[in-house]
Chain A
Amino acid sequence: MSDLTRRTAAQLVDALATGEVTSVELTQAHLDRIAAVDGTADAGIHAFLHVDAEGALAQAAASDERRAAGRVAHALDGVPIAVKDVLTTTGLPTTCGSKILEGWVPPYDATVVARVKAAGLPILGKTNMDEFAMGSSTEHSAYGPTRNPWDLDRIPGGSGGGSAAAVASFQAPLALGTDTGGSIRQPGAVTGTVGVKPTYGGVSRYGLVALANSLDQVGPVTRTVLDSALLHELVGGHDPLDSTSIDRPVGGLVEAARQGATGDLTGLKVGIISELAGDGWQPGVMTRFAESVALLEQAGAEVVEVSCPSFVHAMAAYYLILPAEASSNLAKFDAMRYGLRVLPEGVDAPSAEQVMRASRDVGFGDEVKRRIIIGTYALSSGYYDAYYGQAQKVRTLISRDFAAAYEKVDVLVSPTAPTTAFRLGEKLDDPLAMYLNDLATIPANLAGVPGISVPAGLADEDGLPVGFQVLAPALADDRVYRVGAALEALLEEKWGGALLTQAPELDGAAR
């Protein structure tokens, strides 16, 4: 039964429907895989911060009972899933990769988690992440880094390195992630998996511990484009508990993925973003990108180059807007109502403010402190207009660039990340080098448009995965699925199978 973990979620849906397997068998197979390869902070993949074997098996047994009684809750009923540790889950700790929330068990479920539970997907556990989703390598987790299944000495991307590594190493067929500046797409790129950032407001954020409210979006992390579409349709759609949620039904994504998989893109106009190439872009990444573009052309797409001149300022705008919003969001960690409380040393009868300061010093890691301080600076009087105000104007310019581009083309494409996975520790104390990983993914968050990363092959110089990004206009999420699925089908035909079949076996990795 070990091959169960190698199947896609769509294949597992069929296997459950025909009675070939039960959800308990499936769930157990994934729990066995987790035990074999996930290990700890010191060895193995370390994709999970918490594994809930008992709960997952109970949910699987309930799913099997429903199926036996003919009351299947959803097509994905019984297919196990992993959840990023930034989404609240009753009965399971939610730490956001931070010491300040160590052991916190939320009293409510995020809406996406509630939808997953109601649909009957057993939750295997919570996945590792950069602290409060700040980072591009998962090294900023207070609980130790996740390792890339392609090379255990390398980063799995971030902030959602745990979710991406879990699906890449066959520990889960599906996972939920969140993408504020690329935290779903960039880990997808460097682990050879698929990740989608939906249109802003397309998926509820109720119960997502906010990093930057105007940028955050929940989305699917999977091994195939079709699986992402299945999960997106399950968790997407209006939620009255999220005031930024778009009030219209989500749909047509699975259909778009199936249509795209036929490999016909006749009539589609594709724009290559001129600004996302050049110095600092790894040659092996650009080679795989160019090959994928050629495949889209062969499939009938018309490809042109499109300039988005304001994109060169996206990084600067992002690293002002994000810290500004984050510094205000994280003010709620005050050591009073939940989370860590630390008493300052050598102070008799400390005040609440002294306790708050001591708790935040001990509870937050370096990157969180850096961003809180930058955000506090950008919002302080005298600098507000020059920094935060300007960043918001640049955001307008970036949205205008997208609007102008989408008058000429249906989708925009670029490599997802400028390089393949770098070594653990390489950029840990060089924040700026770390930030550059998000160069290509950030514009979509600033403008609220949807994007997908699909595997484009392995770079010649290091044999590591490269990601191909497709961006579409707001609310046209179906286009990223159509183009993503077409590229996936054309590439797999060339490779003779999925890219992940070329990944290391990882036997005994947990030891």
Chain B
Amino acid sequence: MPARAEISRDEVAHLAELARIDLSDAELDHLAPQLSVILESVASITAVAGDDVPPTSHPIPMTNVFRDDVVRPGLTAEEALSGAPAVEEQRFSVPRILGDEQ
């Protein structure tokens, strides 16, 4: 699909939903035009490289980097929980994860 150099307010709202960020109407009004300008500036890239150019995901290629299979110390439960917003019975305490309809 050819890339379009524009992004609508509705699309931004949808992307924010996918990215799990509540955006207010004021934020959508502010960010949507800026995002269009950014996308316009990068749109030129769609025509730069042909099919014969392989992609690079990593500048210094490495494969199968393993460490020795030996026990090494990790965090204690107290350390792991030390930054948690809420803790209960040595566990992370989180809000409900199911919706009413589930």
Taking Cβ atoms with an 8 Å cutoff, the residues of A that contact B are 104-108, 199-201, 214-215, 240, 243-244, 246, 310, 313, 315-317, 319-320, 327, 331, 334-341, 344, 349-358, 360-361, 364, 366, 369-370, 372-374, 376-377, 380, 382-383, 385-387, 389-397, 399, 429, 431-432, 435, 445-449, 474
Contacts of A382 in B (CB 8 A): 1
Contact bitstring B21-63, A, C-beta under 8 A = 1, else 0:
1111001001100110111011111101100011111111010
Contact across chains for A387 and B3 when beta carbons are under 8 A apart:
yes
Contact across chains for A361 and B31 when beta carbons are under 8 A apart:
no
Contact of A386 among B3, B19, B95, B97 (CB under 8 A): B3
Given A104-B83, A316-B42, A352-B94, A199:B60 Cβ within 8 A: yes
Contacts of A331 in B (CB 8 A): 19-20
Contacts of A372 in B (CB 8 A): 19, 21
Contact of A448 among B37, B60, B82, B85 (CB under 8 A): B60
Contacts of A353 in B (CB 8 A): 20, 97
Scoring A107, A354, A377, A399 by chain B CB atoms within 10 A of each residue's CB, the highest score goes to: A377
Given A357-B21, A373-B12, A394-B48, A389:B42 Cβ within 8 A: no
Contact across chains for A244 and B18 when beta carbons are under 8 A apart:
no
Contacts of B12 in A (CB 8 A): 373
Contact across chains for B97 and A376 when beta carbons are under 8 A apart:
no
12 A–B contacts from the bound complex (CB under 8 Å): A105-B83, A201-B60, A244-B58, A316-B43, A352-B95, A369-B23, A373-B31, A376-B18, A376-B19, A386-B1, A387-B42, A446-B59
Contacts of A338 in B (CB 8 A): 83-85
Q: How far apart sit A390 and B3, CA to CA, in the bound complex (Å)?
A: 11
Chain A binding surface, main DSSP class: helix
Starting from the known contacts A351-B96, A390-B48, A446-B59, 14 additional A-B residue pairs (CB-CB under 8 Å) come to A310-B48, A320-B42, A320-B45, A361-B21, A361-B22, A390-B46, A392-B56, A395-B55, A395-B56, A396-B49, A396-B54, A396-B55, A397-B49, A432-B38
Contact across chains for B19 and A373 when beta carbons are under 8 A apart:
yes
Given A327-B19, A360-B21, A243:B65 Cβ within 8 A: yes
Q: How far apart sit A449 and B56, CA to CA, in the bound complex (Å)?
A: 14
Contacts of A336 in B (CB 8 A): 84-85, 92, 94
Contact across chains for A393 and B38 when beta carbons are under 8 A apart:
no
Given A431-B37, A432-B38, A355:B65 Cβ within 8 A: no
Contact bitstring B52-94, A, C-beta under 8 A = 1, else 0:
0111111110100101000000010001101111100000101
